[in-house]
Structure 1
Amino acid sequence: MSTPLLRCRGLEAGYGASQVLFGLDFDIHAGEVVALLGRNGMGKSTLIKTLVGGLRAQRGEIHFAGQPIHRARADLIARLGAAIVPEGRQCFPNLSVREHLIAFAATRNSAAAPWTLERLYALFPRLAERAGHMGGQLSGGEQQMLAIARALSTNPRLLILDEASEGLAPVIRAEIWRCLALLKAQGQTTLVVDKYVDKLLPLADRNLILERGRIAWQGSSAELDAQRGLWTRYLGV
């Protein structure tokens, strides 16, 4: 198999004397969609913060796009091609939709069909309609669309979505799942956190389940679908 786009070995992280992640080993290959699963408080957000440089690894190694990043700053990791759709969206209240999408735009040679402003508006027509509105004027669903489009505007090698559909109305969740399916078809490498396991199964190539900061299980969606006991044991589903 080819060299992973993201490779973690022996990864440990935490906050001060409180250790949260314990010896994580996993890979993400280019073009894969990987679901990160687990109950609240099991280390999913801590792992994401560590991957994007918001929290420094205490031990272990992370390699991304061929570079060691376990000691790298967040801006350097972003320039290598990691983009995050953060929990809570974190749209800027005083920037317009259009300003969000042009302020962070980047073109990478690896992008076969770059995400231009026009393509982002085609993906989310509602954003085109609201192009002149400020981030603080948008509904929660519109802000989530904007957060995804903002991340895509960087033409990322790896797209990370933390709580992709949290707090959204069912019709907006369906729109987010449609978007993720389209991105998968286009070969976008994605790491996604969400509690709707049944919606993730058709999207994810592989799944990682965290339990108290350790990888309790990892495997394909077909394997996870066939082992529904895992849902009850680790996910509370």
Structure 2
Amino acid sequence: MTREVLLSCRGLEAGYGASQVLFGLDFDIAAGEVVGLLGRNGMGKSTTIKSLIGGLRPRSGTVRFGGKDIHGLPADAIARLGMAIVPEGRQCFPNLTVREHLVAFADNRNGRRDPWTLERIYGLFPRLKERANHLGNQLSGGEQQMLAIGRALSTNPRLLILDEATEGLAPVIRAEIWQCLERLKAEGQTTLVVDKYVEKLVRLADRHFILERGRVAWHGTSAELDADRALWTRYLGV
């Protein structure tokens, strides 16, 4: 059965000032898919994400989300359409409590029958319930990452984007985050993941796109990527 295409990029070009970073990216994400966006540092992953979420206006090309053209829309409008990001660096608010983070942006934008409520998020990350009245700057790095994921889930997004969600975490916390992503996949959450742990991603994601100097250098399934370790060395430095 063919899945509905939720996100579609065609000829996406973007950059900063006189510097062009993306050169005609083409890729799709189908509803219910988990897709990995891979590449060495400086190859365009962060610029791609900024172009999708409204943080950077693309210079040319088209971006369609849920059948709507979102090229050039501001970030808040794109978020209201059902796109949410767990940003690199977590970006938790230092003066809001855990609970305030999780209720301030809550909305069932995806029309889920079983939406991510405050209690469901606490069930996913019990530590957040224990720390409900702590401020964002009183949490450990791992707790902040759980909070960033919970905050994104509270909007019940159609597309969840995770930018280096396991970067800099202790192994036990990193394992907990991967378990969370496996649960979200089982529930059918469409997800775009940027992460350097390729071994974990090939077990989680359906497909992958590898960026090289702002272009899609390779794309294929997890089985294909897992079978060709030369790709890991050539494009990912693994």
Shorter-chain TM-score tier: over 0.9
Match of 2:73 in 1: 72
Residue 128 of structure 2 corresponds to residue 127 of structure 1: yes
Alpha-carbon shift at residue 56 of structure 1 (Å): 0.3
The residue aligned with 2:60 is 59
Does structure 1 residue 138 correspond to structure 2 residue 131? no
* Structure 2 segments unaligned to the other structure (5+ residues): none
Q: Which residue of 1 aligns with 2:148?
A: 147
| C-alpha displacement of 1:111 | 1.3
- 1:233 partner SS: helix
Percent identity of equivalent pairs: 77
Report the Cα offset of residue 16 of structure 1. 1.2
The amino acid across from 2:226 in the alignment is D
Deviation track 1:49-72 (CA, whole Å, cap 9, x = no partner) reads 000000001010000011101111
Equivalent residue number for residue 33 of structure 1: 34
Cα drift, residue 110 of structure 1? 2.9
**How much does 1:5 deviate?**
0.3
- The amino acid of 1:8's aligned partner reads C
C-alpha spacing 1:225/1:86, structure 2 compared with 1 (3 Å):
same
The separation in 1 between residues aligned to 2:13 and 2:129, in whole angstroms, is: 42
Partner of 2:92: 91
Question: Which runs of structure 2 are paired with 1:142-181 in the superposition (5 Å)?
Answer: 142-181=143-182
Report the AA paired with residue 171 of structure 1.
V
- Cα distance in 2 for residues equivalent to 1:105 and 1:124: 16
Tell me the number of residue pairs that the alignment of Structure 1 and Structure 2 aligns: 237
**Distance in 2 of aligned mates of 1:169 and 1:108:** 32
Unaligned segments of structure 1, at least 5 residues: none
**Matched residue, 1:115:** 116
Offset at residue 108 of structure 1 (A): 2.9
- For 1:185, the equivalent position in structure 2 comes to 186
Measured after TM superposition, the shift of residue 112 of structure 1 is 2.6
In the other structure, the counterpart of 1:46 is: 47
